[in-house]
Amino acid sequence: MSNVSSIMNAKSTSEDINTGLDEGLRKDISKTLSDVLGASYRLMIKSHVYHWNVVGPLFKPLHELTEEHYEDLFAAIDVIAERVRALGNVAPYTIGNASEFAPDGKEVEHLTAIDMVDDLIAEHEAICRKMREAAEKAGDNKDMVTEDLMTERLAFHEKAIWMLRATASE
């Protein structure tokens, strides 16, 4: 019974972590990663909504591309949250009002495929800016793991921007 008690009372705080990154830095980087996480959720939801609702001549390529994107984003969200935990902080458990993440239903009904692409490009670009900030902060403070994670994610988002632009070009 004492083993169960000790497991149930295990520490979940970050004060005992000694990996070469001080607690203040780990908290700061975790906050930045949490911002990236929220933006990633927003983009995942928008990509999924647009996947369901795109119509017109770009239906098939955009339907397939947005599916690839929301599946990748879903997996990435888990990796980013796990990095926050590895830094000794609680992964975000509230991400604001999720209803604000998706476009308004009336908007979606009247958006063209090009409108959707433009919106997704803007979201990907915004995440790129957040990720560059996170990567720079991490790199400047010798957190190579976070820097590498952000570099890997940046590659995905920059490729997504290129593919979206190519899909919608005339």
Where are the chain's structural domains? Answer: 20-168
pLDDT in tens, the chain (170 residues): 445 444 434 455 556 777 878 888 899 999 999 999 989 999 999 999 999 999 999 999 999 999 999 999 999 999 999 999 999 888 877 666 555 566 655 577 888 999 999 999 999 999 999 999 999 999 999 999 999 999 999 999 999 999 999 998 87
Q: Who contacts 48 (Cβ-Cβ below 8 Å, separation ≥6)?
A: 66, 70
Which CATH homologous superfamily contains domain 20-168?
A: Ferritin, core subunit, four-helix bundle (1.20.1260.10)
* Token representation of residue 100: 């604000």
pTM comes to 0.85
- DSSP letter assigned to residue 113: H
* pLDDT in the model for residue 4: 45
If DSSP states are collapsed to H, E and C, what string results for 25-83? HHHHHHHHHHHHHHHHHHHHHHHHHHHHHCCCCCHHHHHHHHHHHHHHHHHHHHHHHHH
